[in-house]
């Protein structure tokens, strides 16, 4: 009896017949939360939207290209975490509510007085601009509708907006805020603009998997392939789709809510952006055709799941999405794509099993050794070592490795570590042997460098330079002996700064990256705020800098302990 009930329940939530219904695993309170802004809800980013290396974890509310709109607590609760960063969410507030959910507000311009003072006290206590600390319920309780902050553009933000999230307080999964009644006007159906067939034929997905592109035509929810013929298939295939959504309130392309794939009415694949775990978000690199994304920046969403992809977007009880048509009959394939408002688009086409059809030859890439997605993998030569922990890959792969001539200025040969078209989920550790031109006194300045730019850092270990990286690619050894650059914006030695409210600097590093910075006035630590996207560091004078002559010192180091110092006397 219980089994029957479960089956009916599953059929009800997964059936395509309810066109305006969306797939949802559980109900969420619809009226607990008010909107975080008093602006009409217009979004530039949706929950689950496809971003570089992650799914967008919340909603981005547009703020008329301006900063400074009041941000409200969406319900009663208490501030449970405060975080300030020069990257990421910048100035961010977390509120835990009694209904079991936590709301997050990011890229804030500034905090209300109580919160600002709490943060500043903490920053001076630990002498760090970047802080991230929990609070207990009695410290800063908030009421629904209370102003907690003003909207901004801090951290890694591409323009003024409010990043807003709702998380499950227990599991920390982030959940689609539109499922809580915080909806956006939307009568626009998702757009479908391409379909792919992947001829896997029993091999793991890779950049060598043969694929066919099928252009799509249509509008207003009805899509078909440009070509009307039946697609002949022979052997095991998977499908992929290019799709995105828009809504009534803005032109910004955003993410869809669900993708379902049916063959003859039977579901073979479903992904739903209801909720996900942050530690799975990087698996977007498996959700997408990553080789296509890296080589041509197109986002094809594969409709088959690789065995090492543990995203919870894919619904239980469904096959992995791979099909092998062994009969000679025509089968109807239907993609159903929905947005969170239930607007639905369909792409329909026909396939036929044809044992006479030429099998697109699935090639396994040439290999030295097989790496397994569910095991720890090691590879070693006299010049190079690699350790990939279990969980590093989404599928098994035929690992390839080559070595070539030493690049100019390098302290090793060039090591071609597989290729950058294959994503890495977890950090790889690689060791590259430095050659004899790396003198002992330079060992602690050595780093690994990726031939496409950037450095994963490095430490000297027994003749090798060791670093962890999340990318395959071409690596070699270089040294960083150049200190970071400090460019003062509005302070010089002896300057009169009466009437100036803040001093600022541009800071940058050439290779290993900025490590730490520390500024003092008359020997006392001062708060320097940092915005990575503008490479800007600044201090706002407060009551501690009284009238008179003062001595400022700013010390910046990079990741290889190269140090720059700026000293100036100034008068207030």
Q: How far, in Å, CA of 397 to CA of 459, rounded?
A: 28
Site for Zn ion in 406-465 (CB under 5 A): none
Strands of 485-488's sheet in order across: 485-488, 502-508, 536-540, 529-531
Under rule CB under 5 A, residue 289 binds Zn ion: no
Where do we find the tokens 């600002």?
116
Task: State the nearest-atom distance from the C-beta of 88 to Zn ion, in Å.
Answer: 10
Residue number of the CB closest to Zn ion reads: 163
Task: State the nearest-atom distance from the C-beta of 231 to Zn ion, in Å.
Answer: 38
Where do we find the tokens 């200025």?
409
Q: Which of 32, 60, 245, 480 binds Zn ion (CB under 5 A)?
A: 60
Residues in contact with Zn ion, counted by CB under 5 A, come to a total of 2
From the list 57-65, 360-368, 404-412, 484-492, the region that binds Zn ion by CB under 5 A is 57-65
Q: Which DSSP letter does residue 500 get?
A: -
Q: Which helix (H) or strand (E) holds 136?
A: none
Nearer to Zn ion, 60 or 480 (CB): 60
Nearer to Zn ion, 102 or 396 (CB): 102
Binding characters for Zn ion, 119-158, by CB under 5 A (x = yes): ----------------------------------------
Nearer to Zn ion, 47 or 262 (CB): 47
Nearer to Zn ion, 97 or 163 (CB): 163
Residue 164's alpha-carbon distances to 37, 73, 75, in angstroms, are 10, 11, 13
Task: State the nearest-atom distance from the C-beta of 168 to Zn ion, in Å.
Answer: 18
Nearer to Zn ion, 88 or 457 (CB): 88
Q: How far, in Å, CA of 346 to CA of 212, rounded?
A: 20
Binding characters for Zn ion, 197-226, by CB under 5 A (x = yes): ------------------------------
Give the three-state DSSP class for 310: coil
Under rule CB under 5 A, residue 163 binds Zn ion: yes
Site for Zn ion in 312-371 (CB under 5 A): none
Asked whether the beta carbons of 387 and 428 are under 8 A apart, the reply is: yes
Asked whether the beta carbons of 106 and 57 are under 8 A apart, the reply is: no
Nearer to Zn ion, 46 or 243 (CB): 46
Cα pseudo-dihedral 292, 236, 314, 470, rounded to 10: -40
Task: State the nearest-atom distance from the C-beta of 163 to Zn ion, in Å.
Answer: 3
Binding characters for Zn ion, 495-514, by CB under 5 A (x = yes): --------------------
Nearer to Zn ion, 163 or 167 (CB): 163
Q: Which DSSP letter does residue 458 get?
A: -
Site for Zn ion in 3-42 (CB under 5 A): none
Q: How far, in Å, CA of 177 to CA of 46, rounded?
A: 9
Neighbours of 243 (CB within 10 A): 22
Under rule CB under 5 A, residue 167 binds Zn ion: no
Q: Which of 35, 148, 165, 137 is nearest to 78 (CA)?
A: 137
Asked whether the beta carbons of 41 and 62 are under 8 A apart, the reply is: no
Task: State the nearest-atom distance from the C-beta of 45 to Zn ion, in Å.
Answer: 5
Task: State the nearest-atom distance from the C-beta of 48 to Zn ion, in Å.
Answer: 11
Nearer to Zn ion, 157 or 396 (CB): 157
> Could you write out the DSSP letters of every residue in 205-268?
P-TTS-EEEE-EEEETTEEEESS-SPEEE-SEEEEEEEEEEEETTEEEEE--SEEEEEETTEEE
Task: State the nearest-atom distance from the C-beta of 162 to Zn ion, in Å.
Answer: 8
Q: How far, in Å, CA of 129 to CA of 501, rounded?
A: 18
Task: State the nearest-atom distance from the C-beta of 75 to Zn ion, in Å.
Answer: 20
From the list 125-133, 143-151, 163-171, 350-358, the region that binds Zn ion by CB under 5 A is 163-171
Where do we find the tokens 């227990």?
170
Nearer to Zn ion, 104 or 195 (CB): 104
Asked whether the beta carbons of 125 and 88 are under 8 A apart, the reply is: no
From the list 54-62, 198-206, 309-317, 537-545, the region that binds Zn ion by CB under 5 A is 54-62
Task: State the nearest-atom distance from the C-beta of 310 to Zn ion, in Å.
Answer: 23
Task: State the nearest-atom distance from the C-beta of 464 to Zn ion, in Å.
Answer: 40
Nearer to Zn ion, 62 or 163 (CB): 163
Task: State the nearest-atom distance from the C-beta of 60 to Zn ion, in Å.
Answer: 4
- Name every residue whose Cβ is closer than 8 Å to that of residue 513 and which is 6 or more positions away in sequence: 455, 457, 558, 559
Question: For binding to Zn ion (CB under 5 A), which residues are involved?
Answer: 60, 163
């Amino acid at each position: 009896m219980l089994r029957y009930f479960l089956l009916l329940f599953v059929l009800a939530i997964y059936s395509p017949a309810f066109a305006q219904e969306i797939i949802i695993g559980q109900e969420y309170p619809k009226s607990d939360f008010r909107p975080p802004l008093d602006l009409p809800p217009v979004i530039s980013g949706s929950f689950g939207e496809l971003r570089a290396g992650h799914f967008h974890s919340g909603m981005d509310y547009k703020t008329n290209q301006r900063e400074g709109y009041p941000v409200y607590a969406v319900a009663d609760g208490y501030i449970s975490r405060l975080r300030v960063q020069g990257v990421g969410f910048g100035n961010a507030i977390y509120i835990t509510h009694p209904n079991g959910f936590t709301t997050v507000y990011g890229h804030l311009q500034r905090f209300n007085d109580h919160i600002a003072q709490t943060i500043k006290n903490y920053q001076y206590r630990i002498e760090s601009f970047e802080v991230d600390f929990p609070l207990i319920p009695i410290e800063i309780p908030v009421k629904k509708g209370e102003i907690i902050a003003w909207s901004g553009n801090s951290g890694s933000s591409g323009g003024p907006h409010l990043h807003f999230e709702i998380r499950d307080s227990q599991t920390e999964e982030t959940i689609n805020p539109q499922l809580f009644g915080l909806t956006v006007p939307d009568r626009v159906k998702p757009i479908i603009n391409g379909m792919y067939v992947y001829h896997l034929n029993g091999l793991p997905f890779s950049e060598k998997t043969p694929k066919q592109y099928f252009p799509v035509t249509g509008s207003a929810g009805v899509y078909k392939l440009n070509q009307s013929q039946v697609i002949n298939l022979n052997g095991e295939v998977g499908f992929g789709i290019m799709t995105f959504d828009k809504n009534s309130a803005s032109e910004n392309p955003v993410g869809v809510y669900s993708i379902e794939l049916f063959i003859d009415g039977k579901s073979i694949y479903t992904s739903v952006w209801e909720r996900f775990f942050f530690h799975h978000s990087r698996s977007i690199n498996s959700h997408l055709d990553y080789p296509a994304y890296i080589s041509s920046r197109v986002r094809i969403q594969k409709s088959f799941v690789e065995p090492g992809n543990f995203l919870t977007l894919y619904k239980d009880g469904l096959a992995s999405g791979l099909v092998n048509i062994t009969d000679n009959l025509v089968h109807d394939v239907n993609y159903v794509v929905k947005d969170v408002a239930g607007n639905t688009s369909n792409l329909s086409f026909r396939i036929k099993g044809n044992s006479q059809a030429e099998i697109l030859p699935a090639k396994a890439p040439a290999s030295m050794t097989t790496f397994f997605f569910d095991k720890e993998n090691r590879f070693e030569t006299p010049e190079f070592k690699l350790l990939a922990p279990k969980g590093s890959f989404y599928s098994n792969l035929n690992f390839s490795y080559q070595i070539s001539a030493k690049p100019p200025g390098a302290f090793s040969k060039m090591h071609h570590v597989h290729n950058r078209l294959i994503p890495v989920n977890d950090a790889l550790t690689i060791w590259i042997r430095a050659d004899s031109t790396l003198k002992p006194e330079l060992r602690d300045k050595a780093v690994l460098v990726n031939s496409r730019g950037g450095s994963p850092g490095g430490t000297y270990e027994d003749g090798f330079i060791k670093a962890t990286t999340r990318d395959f690619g071409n690596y070699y050894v270089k040294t960083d002996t150049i200190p970071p650059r400090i460019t003062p914006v509005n302070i010089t030695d002896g300057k009169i700064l009466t009437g100036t409210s803040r001093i600022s600097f541009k800071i940058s590093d050439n290779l290993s990256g900025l490590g730490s910075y520390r500024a003092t006035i008359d020997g006392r630590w001062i708060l320097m705020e940092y915005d990575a996207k503008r490479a800007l560091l600044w201090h706002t004078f407060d009551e501690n800098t009284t009238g008179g002559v003062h001595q400022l010192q700013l010390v910046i180091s990079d990741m290889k302990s190269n140090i720059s110092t700026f000293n100036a006397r100034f008068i207030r």
